[in-house]
């Protein structure tokens, strides 16, 4: 009686799990189908004649290496920048007393809720004026304005007892040393997971690249993929799915390695 009830509760969860995973499985399987097979045997999960034609075609049509490098480079810059600025700011909020601290903190955190449409016109104009259109720096700069790192790092730093910091102060250890020798090592798991999340977010970023990157040579993967999707029904889906499959490899690997850390740090909030 009890176990039957239990199984019933699992039913909606299993359905949701399928809805989450099946699209991905279909995507990967279709990327190994010919266009013809993708139309004929729609529900086939395993291609009858697996082919890597889609991938080779893709390689002829676009410069895959260039695309991956552009995306990777942008995501790396954004990740490192956000980690550094976020850690420094969180450290200031945790360990210093200064005027208007709470106001400044609220102001910082409030920016998480500012939608990009409010700042996109001026930011576009500034980046154009600085001649940074089509550049990695240009597309990275607006992405760096994200206070989620500060929020998560502050929450983690609050778990370090104040007495530890007090004793360092009594020993007259300079802040620079406390930051690098004590705080960063303690925060390592959190830095890894937040960094992983930042990287994945930036890897997938669509809005700013759309606005800033106009030249095909500077495109990132999401922009390239968009070119393979058209609403007129003329899309070559297996080709688009091959590109998508390439795109999800890195995030999946990162997730599988750091899965536990990532889920834990979401508990501390913030994946965009």
Partner 1 sequence: MHSNKKILPFLYLLPTGLLLTIFMIIPIIYTFYLSFFDWNLIAPTKDFVGMRNYVEVFTDPVNQKVLINTFFYIILLLILNFVIPYIISLIVKFFIKKMQGAYKIVFFIPSLFSLVVGAMIFSWILNPVSGPVAFLFRESGFVLPNWTNSGALAIVVLCLITNWKVFGYNFILLLTGLGSIPKNIIDATTIDRIPKWRMIWNIILPMNKSIAIYVLILTIVQGLQYVFTPTNVITTGGPYYGSSNVLYHTYLNAFVLYKTGNASALAITTFLIFLVLLYLEIKFVEGRSKYE
- Window contacting partner 1 (CB under 8 A); options: 53-61, 161-169, 185-193, 235-243: 235-243
Q: Hey, which residues between 64 and 93 contact partner 1 (CB under 8 A)?
A: 84-86, 88-89, 91-93
Q: Minimum CB separation from partner 1 for residue 154, in Å?
A: 9
- Binding flag, residue 173, partner 1 (CB under 8 A): no
* Residue 108 in the binding site for partner 1 (CB under 8 A): yes
Q: How far apart are CA 47 and CA 41, in angstroms?
A: 9
What residues numbered 134-153 form the site for partner 1, per CB under 8 A?
141-142, 144-145, 147, 150
Positions in 239-258 near partner 1 (CB under 8 A): 240-241, 244, 247-248, 251-252, 254-255
In the chain, what is the straight-line distance between the N-terminal and C-terminal CA atoms, in Å? 42
Site for partner 1 in 37-56 (CB under 8 A): 39, 42-43
Candidates 211, 213, 218, 258; binder of partner 1 (CB under 8 A) is 211
* Cα(11)–Cα(19) distance, integer angstroms: 13
DSSP H helices, the chain, are 2-30, 35-40, 53-61, 64-95, 101-110, 120-129, 136-144, 148-157, 162-170, 175-177, 184-186, 188-204, 207-212, 221-226, 237-267
Q: Name which position in 67, 200, 212, 213 contacts partner 1 (CB under 8 A).
A: 200
Pairwise CA distance, residues 48 & 217, whole Å:
36
């Amino acid at each position: 009686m009890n176990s039957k009830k239990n199984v019933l509760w699992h039913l909606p969860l299993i359905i949701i799990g399928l809805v989450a995973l099946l699209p991905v499985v279909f995507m990967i399987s279709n990327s190994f189908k010919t266009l013809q097979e993708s139309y004929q045997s729609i529900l086939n999960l395993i291609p009858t004649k697996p082919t890597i034609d889609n991938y080779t075609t893709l390689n002829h049509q676009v410069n895959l290496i260039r695309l991956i490098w552009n995306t990777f480079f942008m995501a790396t810059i954004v990740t490192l920048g956000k980690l550094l600025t976020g850690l420094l700011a969180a450290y200031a909020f945790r360990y210093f007393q200064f005027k208007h601290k709470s106001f400044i903190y609220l102001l910082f955190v409030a920016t998480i809720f500012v939608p990009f449409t409010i700042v996109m016109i001026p930011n576009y104009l500034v980046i154009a004026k600085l001649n940074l259109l089509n550049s990695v720096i240009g597309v990275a700069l607006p992405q760096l304005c994200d206070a989620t790192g500060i929020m998560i790092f502050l929450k983690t730093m609050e778990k370090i007892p104040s007495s530890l910091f007090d004793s360092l102060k009594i020993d007259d250890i300079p802040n620079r040393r406390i930051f690098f020798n004590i705080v960063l090592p303690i925060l390592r798991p959190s830095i890894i997971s937040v960094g992983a999340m930042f990287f994945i977010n930036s890897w997938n970023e669509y809005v700013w690249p759309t606005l800033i990157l106009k030249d095909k040579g500077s495109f990132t993967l999401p922009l390239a993929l968009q070119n393979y999707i058209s609403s007129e029904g003329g899309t070559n889906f297996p080709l688009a799915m091959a590109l998508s499959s390439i795109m999800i490899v890195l995030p999946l690997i990162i997730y599988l390695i750091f899965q536990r850390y990532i889920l834990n740090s979401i508990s501390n909030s913030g994946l965009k």
